[in-house]
Amino acid sequence: MYNGKNVIGIVTEFNPFHEGHKYLIDSIRLRYGDCYVVAAMSGDFVQRGEPAIYDKYERTWAALQGGVDMVVQIPEMFSTSSAEDFAAGGVATLRSLGFVDILLFGSESGDPDHLMKIADLELDSGSKENAKLNAAIRDNVEAGMSYAKARAEAISLVLSGDDEKAFENILDSVSGGNPDEDLNNGKKSENIGEPGLPADAREGTGLLKKDDSSSGTMASRLLPNDILGVEYIKAVKRQGDCFRIDCIRRNQKFESAHAIRDAIKNPQSEDDVSINQSYADVDMLSDMLSYRMLQLYYLDRMSPEQPSSFTDYLDVSREIADALKKQIHDRMTFTERIEAIKSKNYTYTRISRALLHILLGISKKDVRVLRGRFFGEADMMPYVRILGIRKRARDMLGSVKTTVVTSASKYEKQLFSVRRKETIETPEELILSINASHAETLFNQDMYSADVYNKVYSPGECDDGLISYGNEFTQKFLIAD
């Protein structure tokens, strides 16, 4: 709570911010009344393994104009990771603020009880149901399914109690690919936060009830945003039951972020032409990726007895590394490299993330260390990067429980002053040094990612003339009325 008002946290990409997101914000306020809405948002790169279509400050400004009170950045190490780490990183970022009460997400089913049951099943590693779940996943993977579909079908099978009819109903609309991919053409379903407003939305109960009036077995289906919702719930539970949980049913009438991005990149009419003609696309990274791959390839040639340098990076398996080496002398775009490797074992999104992690230098080791440190109950993030805030919420900055970063250049100086100390004399100084080391890893990764992004994106202009400078060390955080 802050000033006696609920603080609602959402985890999002706003890629780009659109009417469905605006409807979510309005729906939250309709349900909770006068409250604060805080968004943990992906920065320069998103979970699908590609650059955000617009600069993070432009997306932040749109969100503030759309009613969000504060936008904080999810570190790039987590915003570009698997659905599980994306969710956990978003939850950890919101938890580190110290005043968020409720985590709310968009959902196809609008049935938190069902999603809670799935989350409990996956978390209860000692139960017979969990053992059955893991065995079913293993069998499905061995039968040729992607891990995502194997997991979805296994969950449905266990929860249905092996009832064949129930099983078929539950599987009716299960995603056939990655949890963050749409049913059509392997494209991402990005209607997170595009809710309809069910009958009990005005009741302010804190948890959405099952809508029995929905057609078919909507409350039982396990669709992409429901799957991501399960990951949010698991992250909340793993991080000490840090929030109450709520969800709002999506409304299908709103155009998806994917469709909007397609219209921006491939306008079919004057109505489709974006006001901002500048956007970022994954193939703009092709030359940088090719150069980075050459570096790693020749590192491997110089040390053939060592494991491949490619496999140091998050999401890069031995199989993906070997496939990339075969491409090393070919002139290919980022997308062409993905398509050449994609198979029943590796989805488009998984490969795209792997390539992006190679380009950005996001290593398995760093992510493993930081995941272990911040995805549990004890530790908050060493800092929270504030991208923008509305004037009515500005006083909230003084209540944040961890270090607030509104200026990258000032925070860099703070880190440098801590790391300059040559000797450690007390346990407190040791903890400070460890925290500074982890903060540096997160901060430097974010700064490097921003620099890479700004090499391919031309900053645009916001509605009020505010320009994104394309330089993290001169960019000011945004304040909106």
pLDDT in tens, 189-208: 444 333 333 333 333 333 33
Across all residues in the chain, what is the average pLDDT?
83
Q: Is the pLDDT of residue 451 over 90?
A: yes
Please indicate whether residue 213 or residue 439 has the higher confidence score (pLDDT): 439
Q: Which of 71-75, 114-118, 212-216, 399-403 comes out lowest in average pLDDT?
A: 212-216
pLDDT in tens, 347-393: 899 999 999 999 999 999 999 999 999 998 878 999 999 999 999 99
Q: State the DSSP string of 190-233.
A: --TT-B---GGGGG--SSPPP-TTSSTTGGG---HHHHHHHHHH
Q: Which of 228-242, 270-284, 373-387, 439-453 comes out lowest in average pLDDT?
A: 270-284
pLDDT in tens, 38-51: 999 999 999 999 99
Q: Is the pLDDT of residue 157 over 80?
A: no
Q: Token pair 């004057």 is at which residue? A: 270
Q: Token pair 């914000």 is at which residue? A: 25
| Residue 203 CB contacts under 8 Å (≥ 6 apart), including other chains | 31
Element of type H or E holding 11: strand 7-12
End-to-end CA distance of the chain: 22
Q: Which of 117-126, 191-200, 239-248 comes out lowest in average pLDDT?
A: 191-200
| Whole-prediction pTM | 0.84
Q: Please, what's the b/e burial string for 87-120 (b: 16 or more CB within 10 A of its CB; e: otherwise)?
A: bbbbbbbbbbbbbbbbbbbbbbbbbbebbbebbb
In this structure, is the dihedral angle defined by the CA atoms of residues 450, 228, 193 and 242, taken in order, positive or negative? Answer: negative
pLDDT in tens, 311-335: 999 999 999 999 999 999 999 999 9
Element of type H or E holding 73: strand 70-74
Paired tokens of 341: 């490797």
| Residue 448 CB contacts under 8 Å (≥ 6 apart), including other chains | 360, 361
pLDDT of residue 199: 32
Q: How far apart are CA 236 and CA 355, in angstroms?
A: 29
Q: Give me the residues paired with residue 41 across strands.
A: 12, 73
Find, among 244, 269, 211, 274, the residue nearest to 94 by Cα. Answer: 244
φ/ψ of 167, rounded to 5, equals: -60, -45
Segment 72-82 mean pLDDT: 97
Q: Give me the residues paired with residue 2 across strands.
A: 5
| Cβ atoms of 36 and 395 closer than 8 Å | no
Segment 416-431 mean pLDDT: 67
Element of type H or E holding 244: strand 244-249
Q: How far apart are CA 402 and CA 367, in angstroms?
A: 20
pLDDT confidence bin for 273, thresholds 50/70/90: low
Q: Is the pLDDT of residue 187 over 70?
A: no
pLDDT of residue 216: 32
Segment 131-148 mean pLDDT: 79
pLDDT of residue 461: 61
Q: How far apart are CA 426 and CA 432, in angstroms?
A: 10
The most confident of the ranges 151-155, 372-376, 412-416 is 372-376
Segment 405-434 mean pLDDT: 77
Please indicate whether residue 417 or residue 99 has the higher confidence score (pLDDT): 99
Paired tokens of 199: 């009958």
pLDDT of residue 198: 32
pLDDT of residue 48: 93
Element of type H or E holding 56: helix 56-65
Three-state secondary structure call for residue 314: coil
Please indicate whether residue 476 or residue 13 has the higher confidence score (pLDDT): 13
